[in-house]
Structure formats: C-alpha cells, structure tokens
Amino acid sequence: MLARLCRLLFAAALLGAPAANADPIADFYQGKQVQLIVGYGAGGGYDIYARVLARYLSSYIPGNPTIVVQNMVGAGSLVAANYLYGKAANNGTVIGTFDRGST
C-alpha cells in the first residue's frame, strides 16, 4: 500500500513538473547580426575598442549573434549618436559608441 502511494505521488510529481521552455532571447538573437556603430573612422581608438569588444561580445549574448562593426564618421561622432537615437532599430540589434564629450 505504501509503495503504491509512493509511486502515485512520484508519477504526480513528474506530470506536474513544468515543461522546459526555450529561451525567447536566444531564439530572437539566433542567426541575427548585431550592428556595433562607431562614431569615428577606422583605425582610431574607438574603432579598436569596438573591434575588440565585437570579438568577444557575441559569446555573452544568448543565441550568439554575429557582431558587425560599422564606422559612421562625421561631426565628431554626432552623426552616429543621432543615428542611434533616431533611425536605428530599437529592438536590440543595433548598439553603438560615440564621443563621450558629445553628450
């Protein structure tokens, strides 16, 4: 009787356990590109920092998207800041860096 009750409780626990769900963030970023906008030209300090960051950032984002560095020069990186604020996709696929003195 006790063994039967234990089996019944064990079966109920298994059936009542929540199902494993897929990670929605990993599903979103899987196979996508994330743009890393740099407010200065290639070869400068901001560009080097961005390219080092891009090399390793993908492993810290669920889904491991491809990180693509894009230089956007003009007006002391104000063009990049305005692009990030006004025109860039607002869904997490565009991030950027610009002159810290521009704000």
The structural domains of the chain, with segments of one domain joined by +, span: 26-97
Strands in 33-38's sheet, in edge-to-edge order, are: 66-71, 33-38, 94-97
Does domain 26-97 bear CATH number 3.60.150.10? no
Residue 23 scores a pLDDT above 80: no
State if pTM tops 0.75: no
Bridge partner list, 97: 38
Would you place residue 75 in the very low, low, confident or very high pLDDT band (cuts 50, 70, 90)?
confident
For 74, the 3-state DSSP assignment is coil
The better pLDDT of the pair 11, 33 is held by: 33
Highest mean pLDDT among 18-22, 30-34, 98-102: 30-34
Q: Is the pLDDT of residue 3 over 60?
A: yes
